[in-house]
């Protein structure tokens, strides 16, 4: 288990206390969108999810979104899903949001994807204020690469 960086802990505290959820979500969404725009294959999206927001200075903008699944597991699932035309999807247990982000990359650009999590749950713990606008911004633009 990684020991939290004191700078990141302090920044998170002030972001939360000052209510800068939407500002932080916009910055994190912008960074993620820019990096995702360079991805052309599922493997690149998977790598992005496991690596983004893990190191300073990106930790100050967002929180890690790595899926809880092992890479080979999520890659196999995404490969199967990419062969289908997914228009509706339900994810139970959002956790860090990485799997949700990856689902937005393989589902149809007009798909309705619902992800839910219980407050104070064992794995995801519900949604912090920062996560709601951030997760909402995972939606792809209509003409973005799928």
Classify residue 23: in a domain, yes or no.
yes
Classify residue 144: in a domain, yes or no.
no
Classify residue 119: in a domain, yes or no.
yes
Classify residue 79: in a domain, yes or no.
yes
Classify residue 76: in a domain, yes or no.
yes
- The structure's pTM equals 0.81
Classify residue 143: in a domain, yes or no.
no
- Quote the domain boundaries for residue 91: 6-136
3-state SS, the chain, equals CCCCCHHHHHHHHHHHHCCCHHHHHHHHHHHHHHHHCCCCCHHHHHHHHHHCCCCCCHHHCCCCCCCCCCHHHHHHHHHHHHCCCCCEEEEECCCCCHHHHHHHHHCCCCCEEEEECCCCCCCCCCCCCCHHHHHHCCCCCCCCCC
Q: Please report, in tens digits, the pLDDT of each residue of the chain (146 residues total).
A: 566 777 777 877 777 777 777 788 888 899 999 999 999 999 999 999 999 988 777 777 777 889 999 999 999 999 999 999 999 999 998 888 999 999 999 999 889 999 988 776 666 566 777 788 888 888 876 544 44
Classify residue 145: in a domain, yes or no.
no
Q: How many structural domains does the chain have?
A: 1
């Amino acid at each position: 288990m990684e020991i939290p960086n004191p700078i990141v802990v302090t920044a998170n505290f002030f972001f939360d206390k000052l209510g800068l959820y939407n500002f932080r979500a916009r910055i994190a969404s912008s960074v993620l969108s820019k990096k995702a725009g360079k991805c052309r294959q599922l493997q690149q999206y998977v790598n992005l999810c496991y690596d983004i927001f893990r190191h300073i200075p990106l930790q100050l903008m967002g929180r890690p979104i790595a899926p809880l699944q092992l890479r080979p597991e999520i890659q196999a699932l995404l490969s199967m899903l990419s062969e289908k035309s997914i228009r509706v999807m339900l994810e139970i247990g959002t956790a860090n949001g990485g799997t949700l982000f990856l689902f937005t990359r393989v589902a149809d650009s007009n798909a309705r994807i619902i992800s839910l999590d219980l407050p104070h749950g064992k794995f995801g713990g519900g949604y912090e204020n920062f996560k709601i606008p951030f997760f909402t911004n995972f939606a792809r633009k209509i003409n973005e690469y799928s």
